[in-house]
Amino acid sequence: MEMLKQEKQNNGEKVIVANAVSAIIQRVRQEGDAALKAYLRQFDGVDIEDLCVQDEDIRKAQSQLPQTLIEDLQFSVERIQAFAEAQRRSLTEFEQEMIPGVFLGQRVIPIETVGAYVPGGRYPLLSSAQMAIIPAKVAGVSNVKVCTPPTKTGEVHPAVLVAAHLSGADEIYRVGGAQAIAALAYGTESITPVNKITGPGNMFVTEAKRQVHGHVGIDLLAGPSEVMVVADQFANPVYVASDLLAQAEHDVNARVALVTTDRDLGVAVLREIDEQLKTLPTAEVARVSWERKGQVFLADTLEEAISIVNEWAPEHLHVQTINAYDIKDRFLNYGSLFLGDLSSVVYADKVCGTNHILPTSAAAKYTGGVWVGTFLKVVTYQLIKPEGVDVLAPHCVRQSSQEGLIGHLRSANIRWSGNLDIQ
C-alpha cells in the first residue's frame, strides 16, 4: 500500500474540546435556562426570552417557504417514514413455550421521550430533523423534543423549523451546541429531561453526548462527517472528486478518503479535486477539510483495499468498482453502503429513505446507524408453571450451591415439589 495523500494530525484538539464541553454541561446543570440564554448571547449573538418555538412561529416559517420546497420536504418525509415503517415491521413480539411449563416472551416497547438534536452551523440541515424525528415517531415515542441553534435573528431557520414540524416534533427549542445536549440530559426550567438523545453535530455536540451518556441514552457518536470511496480503473474521477467534496463541505473537520487500486485514477482524482474547488461555492470549508483530513490510499490489490476499508470503518462507504454489487458482502465495517457510481451518498443524505445519522470515528466496527430500533426497547418476560419449576429447579439449586449463593438456592428450592435437602 502507498499513500498518495495523508491526513494531518492534531491530537491536542480533543482535550481542549472535552474540557470546554465539561464546563458548559456543569454550568447548564447549575444555572438552567440562565446558562442557555447566556450561551445564546455568547455563541449565537442573540437575546432570546422564550426558548420554546410556538405555533405562530411555525405558521410564519411555512409562509416564508416556496411551495416547491414544502413539497420536497413532504416527499422526503414520506420516503424516510416508509423505510422506518418497513424496519418496524421486522421487529416482532413473541411468546413461546420453550420447555414444558416455561413460557418466555419478548416485548417491543417505545422509549417514552427522546431529544433530537438538529445542527445549524453553516447550513440549514433540513434532512437531519427528519432523520432524527421520523424513526422515533414511527417507533411510537410519545414526546420528541428538538433542539436546534437559532439564526442571527433569534429564530429557527424557517426550512429547518418546517422540516421538524412535518416530521412530527412535539416541542422545538431555540438552543444549540453542547449546552443543548446538557439541557436535554439534565433539564432546565424550560426543557424537561429526556430518556435518550439522538442526532448528529459538530465535535462539541458529539463530545457532550459522550459526557452525558450513562445519565441518558444516546444513539451514537455521530460527527463530523466521513466518506470513503473505493474505486478501480473503471471509475469516473469526476464522480469520485464530487463525492469526496460533497462530504468535505460539511465541516472543516470532515474526513474524506479514496482507496483505489489504480494509480492513474488516484492522480486524476487529485487533479479533479483541485479543479472542482476552483468553482465550488463552499470551497472555503471543503478545501480546509480536504487539506487537513483528506487521504488517498493506493492499494496493491482489491483484497488490500477491502482490508483498508474494514479497518477505517467509514461512516459512508461508496464502492465505485465495476463489480460493486458482487463484492458488497466482503465489506464488514461501515455506517451505510453505496453501491455503484450512480448511488450517490447525497441521495441518502436527503431523500431516498435510509437514515444518515451514522457511526463515525470507526464506531462502525461495533454499531450501525440510527434506525427505528434506536427508539425501541426489546425486553423479555417469563411465565413458569409447576411442570417448568420441576425441570428448572434442580439445575438452579445445584448451580447456586456451587456458587455459594444460598439465598438464590432457597428461592429456587422453596418452589420445587421435589426439593432437595439443601438449605
Cα angle 132, 135, 141 (rounded to 5 degrees) comes to 95
Q: In the block, which residue shows the cell 479535486?
A: 273
Neighbours of 153 (CB within 10 A): 8
**CA–CA gap between residue 320 and residue 311 (Å, rounded):** 19
DSSP codes, 36-67:
HHHHIIIII----S--BPPHHHHHHHHHHS-H
Q: What is the three-class DSSP state of 169?
A: coil
What is the C-alpha to C-alpha distance for residues 354 and 369, in angstroms, rounded to an integer?
10
Gap between the Cα atoms of 125 and 272, Å rounded: 27
Q: Which residue, chain included where needed, has cell 455568547?
A: 42
Residue 308: phi and psi, rounded to 5, are -65, -45
Catalytic-residue membership of 316: yes
Q: Which residues of 374-392 are buried (b: 16+ CB within 10 A; e: fewer)?
A: bbbeeeeeeeeeeebbeeb
Phi first, then psi: give them for residue 284, nearest 5 degrees: -60, -35
Dihedrals phi, psi of 114, to nearest 5 degrees: -130, 140
The C-alpha R_g of the chain, in whole angstroms, comes to: 25
- Looking at 315, 318, 403, 408, which residue is catalytic? 315
Q: Is-contact 164 134, C-beta < 8 A?
A: no
Asked whether 341 and 239 are in contact (CB, 8 A), the reply is: yes
C-alpha–C-alpha distance, residues 298 and 236, integer Å: 16
Three cell numbers, residue 218? 444516546
- Specify whether 171 is catalytic: no
Q: Which of 157, 165, 250, 316 is catalytic?
A: 316
Residue 221 CA to residue 207 CA, distance in Å, equals 8
Measured distance CA(18)–CA(63) in Å, rounded? 41
Q: Which residues are catalytic?
A: 315-316
